[in-house]
Structure 1
């Protein structure tokens, strides 16, 4: 058995041993049997959302920070039965959204007084690579609680500290980190399809013990943090790529939350 497969087997055994309550978010992810590597998180982001929606009957979907690159276009949202709203704080980003989609411009960490806000209006709220750019994440989670309908679910997928690659991005001046990212990923240059925005990494951690008290303050009791390790930043650097992979495989096997690279944080609001 390879190290990666051994890591995955150990993590699954640990998850099963915890015996999550039937019907909980933890039980949902136990049944999925996710891999430890972040490639699984990227590949399964949409399938996880669709499975959650089907299993829990979630129809009114809001994508936080969807802007120019939402999860679904109008045809896709209709095909999956979603009443889909794309949110962003930036009017220019919303203007780049595919035609035919309903949009809502408001700050997820703001005071929720904007006209587009629908308190209790969403069954599901999702975000991908957004929360690291939010300066007050605890307030954002409190706002999500207010925006979700009873029984609603939110899923945030974000990079975490203190993975070395993101710790470096966090420590460097924005100008320097922007130059590095643009060198590694030319498509992310300004004006491209995937621009780089300043990152704060507020509450962007993979440690459930750190996150759960904050999420409880926001009003959530059913909480699941799915941790991932590994990334693709060194794919063009063979020696460094293998060294980094070995480090992350070991961290995953040990369950070392300090150096997770990404996390799904999934919460459910209590029902009526």
Structure 2
């Protein structure tokens, strides 16, 4: 399975004939064989979503927390053969969504009473760096189960505890952690169009043993937790960068879930 092919070859309506609705998300990732380092997760996030859409025949895609920075423009989404709906809880963020894209304002961890709610209306729900900011993640997954169509898939990409860099962000006062992030990435935050929101890290872990019971309660039985280690926070710190890389490489080799840095949590709703 070539990710390069997925990127170059858009998902057309005819490609649904080649979907395999009987496969599991576990089997999908076994064939995909991701690398252990989190750089793979960042580089292959969009191709992985397109690949999921192709393999499972998914077209109606909701991007949770997409706001000002959605996965695709309207033209790109059309080119990939997907119907993209951009979600955010914040009207101000949705106002910054590029022209031509549909939007839906609702709280993924809310009571699903908002007018923009479409129960069973999405084939694929995805999010990137959103779940660490959600206060009630179990309720969010329960709501996702309600919003997905039978056979629908959801993928959440988020940082995990207890990786030291995120543990520090979690334990420090918000003002202090904000100052550190601004110092490390001065062009990516607030003034650079990438605001920092408070992080709660509720259920943000890289352990299947930890997450599976909660996801089962939310209604899912087809579950995959793709663990990643390593990060780029020390890239401008020679010496510390190499020590940290060695630590994460060893943790990945022995499969130490406690210090994963990121995870893809992927679930599929029963086809009914």
TM-score for the superposition, normalised by structure 1: 0.91
Q: Does 1:126 align with 2:97?
A: no
Q: Does 1:64 align with 2:51?
A: no
What's the CA shift for 1:53?
Answer: 0.3
What's the CA shift for 1:24?
Answer: 1.3
- Which residue in 1 is equivalent to 2:163? 163
CA distance in 2, matches of 1:134, 1:104: 17
CA distance in 2, matches of 1:91, 1:191: 19
- Which residue in 1 is equivalent to 2:191? 191
Structure 1 residue runs of 4+, over 3 Å off? Answer: none
What's the CA shift for 1:187?
Answer: 1.8
Secondary structure of the structure 2 residue equivalent to 1:149: strand
Q: Does 1:246 align with 2:257?
A: no
What's the CA shift for 1:191?
Answer: 3.4
CA distance in 1, matches of 2:233, 2:41: 15
Spell out, residue by residue over 1:166-205, the C-alpha distance to the aligned partner (whole angstroms, 9 max, x if none): 0000000000000000011012332322111000000000
What's the CA shift for 1:238?
Answer: 1.1
Secondary structure of the structure 2 residue equivalent to 1:238: coil
Q: Does 1:232 align with 2:247?
A: no
Secondary structure of the structure 2 residue equivalent to 1:103: strand
Q: Does 1:152 align with 2:152?
A: yes
CA distance in 2, matches of 1:190, 1:79: 31
- Which residue in 2 is equivalent to 1:105? 105
Q: How does 1:1-272 map to 2 (within 5 A)?
A: 23-272=23-272
TM-score for the superposition, normalised by structure 2: 0.91
CA distance in 2, matches of 1:130, 1:196: 11
Spell out, residue by residue over 1:116-140, the C-alpha distance to the aligned partner (whole angstroms, 9 max, x if none): 0000000000000000000000000
Aligned CA distance change for structure 1 residues 109 and 35 (closer, same or farther; 3 Å): same
What's the CA shift for 1:254?
Answer: 0.5
CA contact (8 A) 1:131 1:204 kept: yes
CA distance in 2, matches of 1:259, 1:244: 12
How many equivalent residue pairs?
251
What's the CA shift for 1:83?
Answer: 1.0
Secondary structure of the structure 1 residue equivalent to 2:216: helix
What's the CA shift for 1:155?
Answer: 0.1
**What runs of 5+ residues in structure 1 fail to find an aligned partner?**
1-21
CA contact (8 A) 1:142 1:219 kept: yes
